Amino acid sequence: MTKIPSRLAFRAAPHFIIGLMLIGAVAVTGASTPAAAQDGIVKERVDAMKRLGGAARNFRSLSSAADGVGPAETILATTNQLASMWPEGSTGGESRAKPEIWQNMGDFTAKLDALKGAAQGVLMAAKSGDLAATQEATKMVGAACGGCHRVYRLPKDE
């Protein structure tokens, strides 16, 4: 450090220490949730959600039970990927994930599992060749999407 008259050093010290503490706090926060990495995972899961949306839309125009197989498999695979896309505190900014997710991770995971179960139901019905049963089973998928969004997704910004 440069030489400072001791009287001045005495007066500057508290500010200097507080300054160091602030820098430390910023460094620590920055290390645990780097902004860029957070954007990355939010984008990844929003993309995954969009794949879910695309598959769910296909359920509305089934002309045979077999048409349900592909979208159901997409939902199953995507839900498996989604399971590991919620690192602690990855919300804020563009994300519509509610902070409550991290206070209720067990319930949130159960809701992802419910979606998986619903997609498995569609897959079974679709493979059985029964169109009416397949269409009925797709309602459970819609309910599983809504059941989670109502609790854990923030409303869209206007």
Q: Which CB sits closer to ligand HEC, 125 or 145? A: 145
| Exposure string over 116-133, b if 16+ CB within 10 A, otherwise e | bebbebbbebbeeeebeb
Window 34 to 93, contacts with ligand HEC (CB under 6 A):
42, 45-46, 49-50, 52-53, 56, 75
The residue within the footprint of ligand HEC, chosen from 72, 76, 115, 125 (CB under 6 A), is 115
- Picking from 118, 44, 56, the residue whose alpha carbon sits closest to that of residue 83 is 44
96 counts as binding ligand HEC under rule CB under 6 A: yes
Side chain identity, residue 40: G
- Choose the stretch contacting ligand HEC; rule: CB under 6 A; options: 4-12, 28-36, 104-112, 125-133: 104-112
Assign residue 91 a region: left if phi > 0, alpha if psi is -120 to 50, beta otherwise? beta
The residue within the footprint of ligand HEC, chosen from 111, 122, 125, 138 (CB under 6 A), is 111
CA distance 111 to 147: 8
CA distance 32 to 98: 19
Q: Which residues bind ligand HEC (CB under 6 A)?
A: 42, 45-46, 49-50, 52-53, 56, 75, 95-97, 108, 111-112, 115, 141, 144-145, 148-149, 152-153
